[in-house]
């Protein structure tokens, strides 16, 4: 811990370690700006202001007010509850055997369906779409160049590349055409709610089972949350018997 003194407020030394702890407690969306010198300076001003207002509150004997006592009792309750919950969760773990068992019992969750990798050209007018198709088939233009020049889809910047997709990710008409086509085929115009498409199928992949190693962390997280919820609910029932007056 960096014990360098960065300021003195009412005779009390404020250290770099205290300021670092304050920065770490900022909301997550502000964490990315900590490296910015201007933002850090503003945070330091805020941190020192916090200490100075605390001194003002002490000088004005606000600790003796009923409001202060109420807030302190509430804060104490919340902190004690959080610490007790954390202690309850400490013993909750997920074993390798539990992860493997879940994987084996739920393999259908980890099967990636058949997929297609394709490019497309999207246009508003069917006749114009047919003209572009003829240019591609005659060799006057490559599919990718035609996509860059004529497609209204943002994918045009990448030559119409849509990447890989499985069933359920595209509109039905587009999906059916892409999955029915052979590798290397250019099909269309295919009408959808977005317009008219020319589709070039680059590759097709059969259903694949995702290896345990690829989903191990996700399974562990899911099981841990489930077991923590169960442990919490069980402890609540125990505490009702111990503390709740009937």
What pLDDT score does 111 carry?
86
What pLDDT score does 192 carry?
94
Residue with tokens 């900590």: 34
Task: Indicate the pTM of the whole model.
Answer: 0.58
CATH topology assigned to domain 114-206: Chitinase A; domain 3 (3.10.50)
What pLDDT score does 63 carry?
94
200 CB-near residues (< 8 Å, 6+ apart): 118, 119, 120, 143, 160, 184, 185, 186
pLDDT in tens, 13-22: 999 999 999 9
Query: Binning pLDDT at 50, 70 and 90, where does residue 198 land?
Result: very high
H helices then E strands: how many in the chain?
9, 8
Tell how far CA 224 is from the center of its chain: 18
C-alpha 187/C-alpha 118 separation (Å) is 11
What pLDDT score does 35 carry?
87
Per the DSSP assignment, residues forming a β-bridge with 190 are: 197
Please report, for the chain, the start and end positions of each structural domain, with discontinuous segments joined by +.
Answer: 1-61, 65-110+215-246, 114-206
Strands 186-192 and 111-112 come out as: unpaired
């Amino acid at each position: 811990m960096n014990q360098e003194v960065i300021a003195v407020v009412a005779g009390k030394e404020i250290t770099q370690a205290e300021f670092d702890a304050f920065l770490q407690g900022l909301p997550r969306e502000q964490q990315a700006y900590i490296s910015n010198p201007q933002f850090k300076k503003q945070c330091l001003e805020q941190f020192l202001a916090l200490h100075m207002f605390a001194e003002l509150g002490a000088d004005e004997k606000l600790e003796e007010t009923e409001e202060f006592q109420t807030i302190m009792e509430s804060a104490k309750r919340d902190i004690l509850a959080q610490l007790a919950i954390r202690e309850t969760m400490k013993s909750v773990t997920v074993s390798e055997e539990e992860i493997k068992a879940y994987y084996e019992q739920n393999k259908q969750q980890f099967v990636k369906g058949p997929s297609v990798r394709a490019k497309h050209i999207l246009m508003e007018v069917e006749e114009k779409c047919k003209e572009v198709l003829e240019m591609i088939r005659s060799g006057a233009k490559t599919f990718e160049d035609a996509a860059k020049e004529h497609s209204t889809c943002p994918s045009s910047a990448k030559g119409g590349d849509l990447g890989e997709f499985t069933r359920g990710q595209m509109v039905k008409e587009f999906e059916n055409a892409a999955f029915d086509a052979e590798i290397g085929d250019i099909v269309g115009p295919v009408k959808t709610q977005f317009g008219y498409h020319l589709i070039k199928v680059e590759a097709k992949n059969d259903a694949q089972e995702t290896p345990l190693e690829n989903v191990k962390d996700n399974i562990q997280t899911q099981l841990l949350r489930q077991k923590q919820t169960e442990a919490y609910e069980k402890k609540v029932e125990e505490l009702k018997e111990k503390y709740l007056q009937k």
